[in-house]
């Protein structure tokens, strides 16, 4: 008789399932935002998340001590897509000393006086650090494109400039993971209404969210082109179905843990001069 406490581990390659293969074309209308890989929310998923978080905690400590590489996580999504939630849940077991979150809003006058990557490069994590971008340099081929903030020939050049920038970061030792949190238009409507109906969440709602929602199809076109043109071997995009928060968290955490395990960070060897020291 099987022990109910011994649940079968989840043997799914979320990386293979959700990666945008370089050179492939992305059609978001054909990707189910409610996909959960046949899984259901429950004890098995919760156990797997607990196991992965414990692994992440250990791997991050080794990564920090190793001091050889940095890790950049890019999160992009439509409004209510779950970027904040993903950060809170996926990174909950990570030592804050070893990570930093940067949220990119509308650029300041100072930032506008520089090239579009200037403010991004300043926030790239240093060696041994994990950096999370809540929105990113991709806003300059998304919002900028949808709202016609610069001429077409300017934002179109940026795909190549972004790829070159990310290639430079990768060559300099930064591992890059990019996640697009894919929700449906219907799910967004539900989440926006929840913000209006819940007094504890109303502060998150802005009338501008409705204006942006009217441009949904334009944003889908912009995202599809960015995902298609900027998923590379050194900086892959992952399209994560995000209608179900628990699945979003499971997929991202699994991909993050798998990436760190492949890096195989190790603790540095003790200084031989410390061998005979006895603390009294």
- Range name among 1-5, 85-89, 227-231, 246-250 with the lowest pLDDT average: 1-5
> What pLDDT does residue 123 have?
98
- pTM to 2 decimals? 0.94
27 closest CA partner among 203, 228, 194: 228
> What pLDDT does residue 2 have?
42
| DSSP letter (8 states) at residue 30 | G
- Write out pLDDT tens, residues 236-255: 999 999 999 999 999 999 99
11 closest CA partner among 226, 270, 250: 250
What strand order describes the sheet that includes 130-134? 99-103, 130-134, 70-77, 174-182, 237-241
Does the pLDDT value for residue 4 go beyond 50?
Answer: no
Q: CA-CA distance, 238 to 255, in Å (whole number)? A: 9
Q: CA-CA distance, 120 to 226, in Å (whole number)? A: 17
Average of pLDDT values for 63-78?
98
Domain regions of the chain by residue span: 22-263
82 closest CA partner among 128, 145, 161, 135: 135
- Write out pLDDT tens, residues 82-94: 999 999 999 987 9
Confidence of residue 7 (pLDDT cuts 50, 70, 90): low
Under CATH, which architecture does the 22-263 domain have?
Answer: 3-Layer(aba) Sandwich (3.40)
């Amino acid at each position: 008789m099987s022990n109910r406490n011994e649940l079968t581990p989840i043997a799914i390659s979320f990386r293979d399932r959700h990666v945008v293969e370089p050179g492939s074309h992305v059609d978001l209308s054909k990707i189910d935002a409610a996909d959960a890989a046949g899984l259901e929310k429950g004890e098995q998923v919760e156990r797997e998340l607990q196991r992965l978080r414990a692994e992440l905690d250990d791997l991050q400590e080794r990564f920090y001590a190793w001091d050889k590489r940095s890790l950049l996580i890019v999160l992009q999504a439509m409004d209510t897509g779950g970027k904040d939630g993903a950060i809170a849940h996926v990174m909950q077991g990570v030592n804050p000393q070893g990570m930093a979150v940067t949220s990119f809003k509308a650029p300041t006058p100072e930032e506008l006086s520089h090239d579009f990557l200037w403010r991004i490069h300043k926030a790239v994590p240093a060696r041994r650090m994990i950096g999370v971008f809540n929105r990113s340099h991709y806003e300059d081929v998304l919002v900028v494109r949808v709202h016609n903030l610069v001429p077409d020939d300017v934002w179109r050049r940026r795909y190549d400039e972004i790829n070159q920038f990310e290639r430079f970061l990768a060559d300099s030792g930064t591992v890059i993971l990019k996640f697009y949190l894919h929700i449906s238009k219907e799910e967004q409507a539900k989440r926006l209404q929840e913000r209006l109906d819940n007094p504890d969440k109303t502060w998150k709602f802005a009338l501008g969210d409705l204006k942006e929602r009217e441009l949904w199809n334009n944003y889908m076109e912009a995202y599809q082109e960015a995902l298609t043109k900027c998923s590379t071997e050194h900086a892959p995009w992952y399209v994560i179905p995000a209608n179900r928060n628990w699945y979003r968290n499971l997929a991202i955490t699994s991909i993050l843990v798998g990436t760190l395990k492949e890096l195989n960070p190790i603790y540095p060897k003790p200084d031989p001069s410390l061998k005979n020291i006895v603390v009294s």
